[in-house]
Amino acid sequence: MHFEHFFQSNLEGLRKAGNYRVFADIARQRGQFPAATRYREDGSEQDVTVWCSNDYLGMG
């Protein structure tokens, strides 16, 4: 069995189904909670408000 092909095809299936999780690239602004900056894949930035009360490891 070709494990790499197996995993790649299953990951592609998850992406097509919309079930592949991608974490947002967010930088919190020290001293300005809940303000943060989101960095998008196209290089643009967006001001966002983070309202996650349980954000262990910054993955909220």
Model confidence, pTM: 0.56
pLDDT tens column, 40-53: 989 999 999 988 76
- pLDDT computed for residue 29 by the predictor: 81
Ranges of residues in the chain whose predicted pLDDT is under 50 = none
Q: In terms of Cα–Cα distance, which of 37, 39, 33 is closest to 52?
A: 33
Sign, CA torsion 4/6/7/12: positive
Tokens standing for residue 58: 């910054």
- pLDDT computed for residue 28 by the predictor: 86
